[in-house]
């Protein structure tokens, strides 16, 4: 297996990755939990995330995490996700890009390193930690934009939820490059989402 830098996010049909008023207690904004019905197999709430993905979506999730040797996230995503609880279950190192220093955390099989050296340093550390497996950039939006603008994302998975949010954070609003080319390589559909793989060139 050759290591790749892979990124992916879920977007509504009208281009939003959150609804309005996203905050730690409501990480996907008002109505934004509908973006992730595919993760839980249907409606869910912030206080109850016990749902099971549809078998198609479960295969996608299993494939994505099996290929990952390290994850990169932004500090905002880490905080709105509540640090993914006491048992995140990622099973690989997670590098949190932040301006605020913090001690390394280990929760179950997952470690969190808070990298203050910026996205480039975080990527270098993640590459080293991942070995031959992929480095997966989970978001959020600003961090993804920086990596796309830097031209280091080799594969992008866009998950489209069949909903309209009307407002919130737009996925590509912070990306400044327009010379990036996205070559579609695979499409998987479930009742809750469409997962589209792109090879990124630029």
Task: Give the mean pLDDT of 121-145.
Answer: 97
Task: Give the mean pLDDT of 139-158.
Answer: 96
pLDDT tens string 43-97: 998 878 788 999 999 999 999 999 999 999 999 999 988 899 899 999 999 999 9
Other Cβ atoms within 10 Å of 199 Cβ, number: 14
Pairing of strands 94-97, 194-201: unpaired
Task: Give the mean pLDDT of 171-175.
Answer: 95
Paired strand residues for 95: 72, 113
| pLDDT value of position 111 | 98
Report whether pLDDT(153) > 80: yes
| pLDDT value of position 46 | 82
What is 5-19+27-201's CATH number?
A: 3.40.430.10
Q: DSSP letter string over 54-97?
A: -HHHHHHHHHHHHTEEEEEEEHHHHHHTGGG-S-----S-EEEE
- pTM of the shown model: 0.94
| pLDDT value of position 48 | 80
Mean pLDDT of the chain: 95
| pLDDT value of position 80 | 85
The SS3 of residue 19 is coil
Lowest mean pLDDT among 79-88, 133-142, 193-202: 79-88
pLDDT-above-70 percentage for the chain: 100
Report whether pLDDT(202) > 90: no
8 A C-beta contact, residue 139 and residue 9? yes
Q: By C-alpha distance, which of 103, 107, 82 is closest to 93?
A: 107
Please state, in angstroms and rounded to a whole number, the distance separating the CA atoms of residues 115 and 101: 7
Report whether pLDDT(1) > 80: no
Report whether pLDDT(172) > 90: yes
pLDDT-above-90 percentage for the chain: 89
């Amino acid at each position: 297996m050759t290591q790749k830098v892979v990124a992916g996010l879920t977007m509504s049909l009208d281009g939003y990755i959150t609804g309005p008023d996203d905050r730690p207690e409501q990480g996907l904004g008002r109505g934004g939990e509908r973006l992730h019905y595919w993760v839980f197999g249907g409606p869910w709430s912030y206080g109850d995330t016990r749902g099971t993905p549809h078998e198609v979506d479960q295969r996608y999730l299993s494939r994505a995490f099996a290929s990952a040797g390290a994850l990169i996230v932004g500090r905002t995503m880490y905080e709105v996700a509540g640090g993914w609880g006491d048992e995140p279950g990622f099973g690989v190192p997670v590098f949190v890009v932040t301006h605020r220093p913090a001690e390394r955390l280990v929760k179950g099989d997952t470690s969190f390193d808070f990298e203050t050296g910026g996205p480039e340093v975080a990527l270098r550390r993640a590459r080293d930690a991942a070995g031959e497996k992929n480095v997966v950039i989970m978001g959020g939006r600003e961090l993804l934009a920086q990596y796309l603008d830097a031209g280091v994302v080799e594969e992008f998975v866009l998950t489209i939820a069949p909903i309209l949010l009307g407002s919130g954070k737009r996925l590509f609003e912070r990306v400044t490059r327009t010379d990036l080319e996205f070559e579609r390589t695979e499409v998987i559909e479930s009742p809750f989402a469409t997962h589209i793989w792109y090879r990124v060139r630029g």
